[in-house]
Amino acid sequence: MESKRLFGIYGASGCGRGVMPVAAHMVGPSIAVDDELVFVDDKPLAGTVNGRAILTYEQFLATPAPHRAVCIAIADPRVRHTLADRCRSDGVGLFSVKASNTVVMDEVRVGEGHILSPFVTLTSNIVIGRCFHANIYSYVEHDCNIGDFVTFAPAAKCNGNVVIEDHVYVGAGAIIKQGRPGRPLVIGAGAVIGMGAIVTKSVPPGAVVVGNPARPIKGSAIC
């Protein structure tokens, strides 16, 4: 009997449990009816969750399958990057998860391994890198360039003419002000935008900003 193709949602905690139902309804060109869809977790607390098997990464690798791939549902951008590198070195592919009610308009390019949750909107002329997470009700407006391993928590809002570099985390309900054509507002690599923050100025790499208007916490800086 031929083995089934194997697809894993990497992470069985909150984020992964929100992504799994979306993946399960994506039966079609990417995931077929007879494929196997499981959770993958490095430290599983049980054998199943919400009716789906949980495999350790080692068990996932050991399960016979003609093809295996994961969608990494880990909110921390750097952890997600580390896991993506490990999967690549082990020959495990990445697949993307996109809700049926996601709105994607004109000239939008999104890299492999992305998650577009329910009620996400990407408007026009947007370029996004690998393993992007857009949680529920978040949006990206026109003429934005977003790097690899960027996370938008629920209802994060990025307006037009913004550059977001790699490994940025945008907290729930945060709003990034629109930049200008030729003078984009820039969120530097590894920056963290706090929950509900209103970002009106560019943020340097590694900064952590909170509040309205967003200001750096101790040990950080904003330009």
Which residues are known to be catalytic? 142
The Cα 48–Cα 30 span in angstroms is 24
6-10 and 36-40: which strand pairing? Answer: parallel
| Residue whose structure tokens are 């951008």 | 77
CB-CB neighbours of 211 under 10 Å: 13
Q: Determine contact, residues 72/10, Cβ cutoff 8 Å.
A: yes
Whether residue 214 contacts residue 202, with contact meaning beta carbons closer than 8 Å, is answered with no
* β-bridge partners, 146: 128, 164
Q: Within 13 A of 24's CA, how many CA atoms are on the CB side?
A: 12
Please give the distance of CA 68 from its chain centroid, rounded to a whole number: 20
Q: Amino acid identity, residue 64?
A: P
| DSSP bridge pairs for 16 | none
